[in-house]
Structure 1
Amino acid sequence: MREVVDGVFEVGIGYVHVHLVVTDDGVVLVDTGLPGRSARIGRALHDIRRKIGDVTTILLTHHHVDHTGGLAEVRRRSGARVVAHQDDVPYVTGEAQAYMPHPVVRLVGLFLGKAEPAPVDEIITTDSATPLPGFTAVHTPGHTPGHLSYLLDRDGGILFAGDAAAGGRSGKIGSAPKMVSADLDAQWRSVEKLAGLEFEHAVFGHGRALNGRAVEAFRAYVAAGK
């Protein structure tokens, strides 16, 4: 675990990150990581002198199992409300089953397991919604139809990009793995959308966080073209 900026912590769970945000009203959790690994979230909370009951809100970026694997357990133990976009809600609640056409992805899925379905307490239906004070939900479809990124109004702006993009080396960004994205053209437009915002820092579901004018890395990526 590392503190990206004051009160924002990045927690590695296998190959994916979840993020803890300490607020005046409790802890906000962005995504919940892989199935069967929620104990790692508990340890991270302990390390910052918090406990699972301090988690008041879980913001989901999208429905993929590596981001929702611990959702049901964390929600049961914390009582936190869950926020997701309407287009991904059926997959989170178990009403629909995601289909991954790429054979490698299907094979990996056998080892990862499935996320236990969980209720969604607040459904985002509009762009730029504010699920809680200081957070803006930005609809960034492509990786999944209901993918959300979140912009936190703190320290010049912190973008939680989820899998709309991935952190790269040397202060650059890249795309999320193409074989698991639903619509690559839509995903590109979402990155262009994020490049038009203002933020100093960016964190990702996969890859390195960026500190200091992180938006410029997005703009450079867009300028370079697909």
Structure 2
Amino acid sequence: MREVVDGVFELGLGFVNVHLVVTDDGVVLIDTGLPRRAARIEKALREIRRPLGEVRSILLTHHHFDHTGNVADLRTRSGARVFAHAADAPVITGAIRPPAPKKLLARMARRMMHAEPTKIDQLITVDESEPIPGFTALHTPGHTRGHVAFLLDRAGGVLFAGDAAAGRKGEVTSAPRAAAADLTEMDRSVVKLASYEFEHAVFGHGAAVSGRAVDRFRKYAATLQGA
């Protein structure tokens, strides 16, 4: 686990990242990683001297199992409120089955890893709304219909990009495209994110980017617009 900026921690759980944000009102989790990793998240909380009960909110970027794997367990045991976009809610709650991945490997992974459904306490329905103080929800469809990035008003702006994009060697690149619902929309969402201002960006997959991270987003977005 590493501290990206003051009070914002990145925890790697295999190939996916979970982010913990310390606020005046407790801890906010952005996504919850692969199933059966709740103990590792609790250990990370202890490392920053925070008990599980201080987790007040869980912001979900999208419904894929590697991001929602521990949300049901953590919600039950911490009492945290869960936030997700309305378009992804039916999958997270178990009302419908997730769409079948296009690639064989992704389909096999989904069969082996299952995220337990959970109740959502507050739906995100309005773009640029503020689900909790300090966080702006940005609807960024493409990876899933209800994918959301979150922009934190801290340290010049911290973007939690989820799987709208990925970080690699200090640059912004594509998130896993095989799992995307709509590649054209995903590219549009990158261009949208590049229109905001932020100093730091963290991702569901790949390394964080700090220091005018938006410039790296704009560089990547330019390749998409010129394609």
> What is aligned with 1:183?
182
Q: CA–CA distance in 1 between the matches of 2:129 and 2:47? A: 31
What letter corresponds to residue 171 of structure 2 in structure 1?
K
Give 5+ residue unaligned stretches, structure 1.
Answer: none
Q: CA–CA distance in 2 between the matches of 1:19 and 1:119? A: 21
Segment drifting more, 171-180 vs 140-149: 171-180
SS, match of residue 73 in structure 1 = helix
After superposition, the C-alpha distances for 1:115-169 in whole angstroms (9 at most, x for unaligned) are: 0000000001110010011100000000000000000000000000000000011
Q: CA–CA distance in 2 between the matches of 1:121 and 1:110? A: 27
What letter corresponds to residue 106 of structure 2 in structure 1?
V
> Structure 1 residue 131 and structure 2 residue 131: aligned?
yes
Q: CA–CA distance in 2 between the matches of 1:223 and 1:65? A: 31
Q: CA–CA distance in 1 between the matches of 2:114 and 2:61? A: 17
Identity %, equivalent residues:
60
After superposition, the C-alpha distances for 1:32-88 in whole angstroms (9 at most, x for unaligned) are: 000011111100000000011000000000000000000000001100000000000
> What is aligned with 1:102?
103
Tell me by how many angstroms 1:186 deviates. 0.3
When normalised by structure 1's length, the TM-score is 0.98
Tell me by how many angstroms 1:224 deviates. 2.1
After superposition, the C-alpha distances for 1:9-36 in whole angstroms (9 at most, x for unaligned) are: 0001111000000000000000000001
> Structure 1 residue 163 and structure 2 residue 163: aligned?
yes
SS, match of residue 191 in structure 1 = helix
> What is aligned with 1:80?
80
Give 5+ residue unaligned stretches, structure 2.
Answer: none
Residue pairs, 1:63-74, within 5 angstroms: 63-74=63-74
Tell me by how many angstroms 1:110 deviates. 2.7
Tell me by how many angstroms 1:100 deviates. 1.4
> What is aligned with 2:36?
36
SS, match of residue 131 in structure 2 = strand
Segment drifting more, 171-180 vs 113-122: 171-180
> What is aligned with 1:211?
210
> Structure 1 residue 122 and structure 2 residue 122: aligned?
yes
Q: CA–CA distance in 2 between the matches of 1:121 and 1:109? A: 25
What letter corresponds to residue 47 of structure 1 in structure 2?
E
